[in-house]
Structures are given as structure tokens and as C-alpha cells.
Amino acid sequence: MDLNEKIFWDAAAHGEVETVESSIRKGVNINIINAEGRSALMRTAKRGHEDVVRLLINEGANVNTHDKNGKTALMGAAKKGELKVCELLVDSGANVNARDNNGRTALLRAAFMGHNKVVTYLLDKGADVNTADSLGRTPLMEAVTTVRTDICDLLIAKGANVNAKDCKGCTALMRAAYAGDPGMVEYLIKHGADKTITDNNGVAAIHYARTECVDALKGWLVY
């Protein structure tokens, strides 16, 4: 980057809208990327600077740029729970189902971080509720891992497959059993989780329970 581009880049990252405007008037390339392939829009979106995001979009910033890891501005905003920024990006054509190099989407990130408003928005905008990353992890699995039944409610209401398996054959119920959480195990079974399913090694959810948790879970998981 030259000096003007560096000034523009740093101003966008810090939400300095007047400096960003000045750089644009001087003819800076708003889609300039750094060594990691990240654009100014990606940096400012992740940090929740709505005014800068709006300005860059209005000036023609590419909302679907991928960095070297395949991440987009929407993924960054979703991970941080920046709902308004997500709305600006999607309304301007951001792909809600874009995947990074590990197959992870904006929805997977928002579900894992527990951002229920962002999850609701992305689902309403067509995010695939049963999308899976390269390890086979789904948004529901991520919500179970972080013990967010509110997120689970949103996903299941949109058709999340409670019995989906990851690449090792592990289900959301198996994850809850391993975590030793009776409440989450009960929740999943009441929402259709099948305790008789086995993973790729023939292991059922009850066998995922650690020794100290078996007594608390066996009432739900033994069959």
C-alpha cells in the first residue's frame, strides 16, 4: 500500500468516517486489500463501524470479497454480533451462504457465538440452517456446544436436523452427553434427538458421557 491507501485503511479500521471520505475524494482504491487479502470493508464491518460500512458500500465497495482464508465482511460482522452491519451488507448483496476455506458460514459463526438476533436475521434472509463446515459441524451442533437453547430454538424452528452427524458420525446429542449437561440432553431428546444413533465407531450418546456424568444422564440416554 502507498501512504494514502494506508491512511484510508487505518481510518476505516478505526471508524474515522471523515478521513475515509477524504481518502475517497483523493481517489483511493476502496477495494484495496492487504497481504492477507482483507479489504477496508472487511476490517470496518468486523468492528461494527456502521457509518463507514455504509459509506464504503455507497462508494462501490465489494461486499463479497474473500480474504486468503475465504472469510468475508459478513462473516466478520456475524461473528461479532453486529446486526446493523449484517443488514447493510446483505441488503447490498452479500452472500449469506458464502463459505470460508473451512466451510464455515456467517450463520455457523453467529450460532457458535450466541448472537441470537444475527442468527434470526440470517435465517430470515435465507441462510442454510443445515449447512455444515469441513468437519461436518452444523449451526445446531455449535449452539449445543455453547449451551444456547435460545439459539437451538431458532434453528429447530427453521428445520435444523437434530440428528445430523459430523464427519466422525457425532451428533448434537453426543456432544451434549460428553459435556455432561442433563438440561441440554433432555432438551434435544424432547426435540427429536435419537439416543440410539451411533457414530462411525458404533458408539452411542450414552457412551460419550464421562464417568462422573453417567448417573445424571442415564435416565435420558440408556435404551
- Domains: count for the chain: 3
The predicted-structure confidence for 144-186, as pLDDT tens digits, reads as follows 999 999 999 999 999 999 999 999 999 999 999 999 999 999 9
Mean pLDDT, the chain, whole residue set: 96
pLDDT at 204: 97
Do 79 and 54 sit in the same domain of this protein?
yes
- Least confident interval from 156-160, 170-174, 198-202, 218-222: 218-222
pLDDT at 1: 74
The candidate with the shortest Cα–Cα distance to 59, out of 8, 100, 99, 125, is 8
Do 4 and 47 sit in the same domain of this protein?
yes
The predicted-structure confidence for 1-29, as pLDDT tens digits, reads as follows 788 899 999 999 999 999 999 999 999 99
Assign residue 114 a region (left: φ > 0; alpha: ψ between -120 and 50; beta: otherwise).
left
The candidate with the shortest Cα–Cα distance to 120, out of 145, 92, 143, 146, is 143
Cα gap 29→4, rounded to integer Å = 10
Domain that includes residue 36, residue range:
1-94
Compute how many other C-beta atoms are within 10 angstroms of the C-beta atom of residue 147.
15
pLDDT category of residue 31 using cuts at 50, 70 and 90: very high
8 A C-beta contact, residue 156 and residue 140: yes
Do 79 and 1 sit in the same domain of this protein?
yes
The CATH code of the domain that includes 147 is: 1.25.40.20
Do 157 and 187 sit in the same domain of this protein?
no
pLDDT for residue 187 is more than 80: yes
Do 153 and 176 sit in the same domain of this protein?
no
pTM for this model (two decimals): 0.95
Do 129 and 196 sit in the same domain of this protein?
no
Do 51 and 120 sit in the same domain of this protein?
no
Do 18 and 82 sit in the same domain of this protein?
yes
Alpha helices in the chain (DSSP H): 3-13, 17-25, 40-46, 50-58, 73-79, 83-91, 106-113, 116-124, 139-145, 149-157, 172-179, 182-190, 214-221
The predicted-structure confidence for 107-121, as pLDDT tens digits, reads as follows 999 999 999 999 999
pLDDT at 124: 98
Domain boundary among 65, 94, 123: 94
Do 153 and 177 sit in the same domain of this protein?
no
Do 142 and 152 sit in the same domain of this protein?
yes
Do 195 and 213 sit in the same domain of this protein?
yes
Do 25 and 71 sit in the same domain of this protein?
yes
